[in-house]
Structure 1
Amino acid sequence: MELFGAGGFLLELPEGIPLDPRQYWGIPLALVGAALLAFGAQYQSRGLNKVERIVGVSAHAGLSLRHMLSLLRRPSWVVGTVLLGLAVVFQLGSLALSPITIVQPIGVVGLIITSVLNSRISGVRLGKRVTASIALAVGSVAVFVFVAATNVRDQVVTDAKLLAILITFGVVLILARILFVLYRHRGIALIYIVGAGVLYGFVATFAKVVISRLQQGDFEWLTWTCVAALAAGGLLGMLFVQNAYSSGPPDLVVAGLTVIDPMVAVFIGILILGEAAHAPAWVSVVFVITGATAMVGVIGISRFHPQSGKSVLDHTGKMPVVTPVDPED
């Protein structure tokens, strides 16, 4: 099978991978979800920063009950939460139509939107190294998606695959809990970002397998266990994200959710779900290289971003994460 690629060159596709036109409809849904994620993260970050000013205590060491109650009264945080909820809805729609390996990485578009938004709102100019890191992350994921779109397809989700995902997630959940206990008082943004990204990668995977089992007409106790795991991963991931807002800018948070999250989901899709089972060997090489360079980009954002590690309560003369807003926000 042949397909015209960039520059008009003919690409030879493996005969074992039929192109299903339906899977491409998930791409625009994923793009809308990415935009909603970007705006939702910006509003949630603004809400948390405002609450920290009001409470007078940073959330670096974890959200307190006072923080949580105050967040529920901040319109900006509530709006951000609603937008993130809508982003999830669009993401689920894209997962219902397309393999997770194709649509999950598209969320990196949200990183571009968030970077522009946060720079405009906070008045902080991004340096060349931060811009280069963002470009590296986005470019790596773009190559990944292009290759995946023509080399992967949905597979039947068996009980053995579900068990493998659940066991792996159990180990990750324990490690995430240990990391949270060890580092919660250090306010290291990258720890929270990586933790949230990995957890949400499993959440997206569980969403995909639950949808697939529904489409297969095979919904039983093992699938319900995946639903419970999805809820647990989502809640712990949300806790990591809120703490990350306190110790880093929203574009760093979105970098974790749009680069680390899809890479985790994609590797599960490839290694366990077998979505690239019929792909040629060079595809796996491209996936590994682009995954590694995307991670280098995220680390670069964390290291070089002028707001990384800064709380709105820091008295260092640095610009806070978000400039003061109207009290009603």
Structure 2
Amino acid sequence: MTLLAAVIALVGSLFFALGAALQQFEAAGAPGVRGLLGLLRRPRWLAGGASILAGGGLHIVALGFGPLTVVQPMGVASLLFALPIAATLHGRRPTRAELGSAAMVAAGLVGLVLLVPESDEPAVLGPPGVLTLLGVAGVAAALLWGASRVASPAGRAALLATSSGVLYGATATLMRVLVDGGWNWWYLLALPAPALLALAMLQRAYAVGHFGVSFASLQIADPLTAVAFGALLLGEPLPTGLAPVAAAALTAAGTIALARTTPLEARP
């Protein structure tokens, strides 16, 4: 059953990678398209969204067959799948430097995922905590967006995607609280705001053109934000020792290398 869970999660990662690559292809340099509303009218972008939803659904199914420690690392494989798919859509082959840098990011992320201690306590957060969650995520996302306006193209893609990842991490934390603590209608109303902002910010990152670095930054920021909020607001344990530091350093080094090697992915 564990092997089945790993296979299902791996297929889910492939769907997630395909969806991200399709959405980036539409967002990067598409003539006459401005903002999220414009992309919503493009069939290929919508197909990418459907593929991402299918990937997420498969990961949920995989969790029914195997432990989180098996399923989560399989999700990291989406980065390794996404680069060749995106390169093919843009009519080229991924370089060895790209794939090597992506492998570094993936290895570091797997290490971080496996090192985070599991918590059996229910995720409970009162209204002040929810407001703190949304406020901190909003301020962090705004600061990252502001910094992106004066950054290089690759840096802009990374900062915008990180901003999106912070908002997605806040959304994931809020969803956990909603599921574990009961379906509070007030929390349910608060959920769409960070999710939609995250989606819009991610499309801005994709539109810059450096798909590899933007997708890697998203893959890093989303889970790390959820872990940080879990520790700060829910009292969940954090990993200790030198191992998580080494994994984080490997992830950072891979992202920097990817930013230096990833070419501009924009349609002529």
Partner of 1:220: 184
Decide which structure has greater helix share.
2
2:17 to 35, 38, 63: 38
2:86 to 93, 113, 118: 118
Residue 94 of structure 1 deviates from its aligned partner by 6.5
Distance 1:126 1:43, change over 3 A: closer
Distance 1:272 1:189, change over 3 A: same
| Equivalent-residue separation in structure 2 for 1:238 and 1:91 (angstroms) | 20
Name the SS of the counterpart of 2:31 in structure 1. Answer: helix
Distance 1:133 1:25, change over 3 A: same
| Equivalent-residue separation in structure 2 for 1:255 and 1:91 (angstroms) | 19
TM-score, structure 1 normalization: 0.66
Name the SS of the counterpart of 1:195 in structure 2. Answer: helix
When the two structures are aligned, how many residues end up with a matched partner? 265
Residue 96 of structure 1 deviates from its aligned partner by 8.7
Q: 1:97-136 alignment to 2 at 5 Å?
A: 106-136=74-104
Contact 1:39–1:114 (CA<8 Å) still a contact in 2? yes
Q: 2:162 aligned with 1:194, yes or no?
A: yes
Residue 263 of structure 1 deviates from its aligned partner by 1.9
Q: AA paired with 1:54?
A: P
Q: 1:189-268 alignment to 2 at 5 Å?
A: 189-213=157-181, 218-220=182-184, 224-225=186-187, 227-268=188-229
Residue 181 of structure 1 deviates from its aligned partner by 5.3
Q: AA paired with 2:20?
A: A
- Structure 2: which 5+ residue stretches go unaligned? none
Distance 1:271 1:26, change over 3 A: farther
| Equivalent-residue separation in structure 1 for 2:100 and 2:23 (angstroms) | 26
Name the SS of the counterpart of 1:204 in structure 2. Answer: helix
Q: AA paired with 1:276?
A: P
Q: AA paired with 1:290?
A: A
Q: AA paired with 2:229?
A: I
Q: What is the CA RMSD across the aligned residues, in angstroms?
A: 3.6
Partner of 1:143: 111
Q: 2:125 aligned with 1:159, yes or no?
A: yes
Q: Determine which structure has more spread, i.e. the larger CA radius of gyration.
A: 1
TM-score, structure 2 normalization: 0.79
Contact 2:134–2:170 (CA<8 Å) still a contact in 1? yes
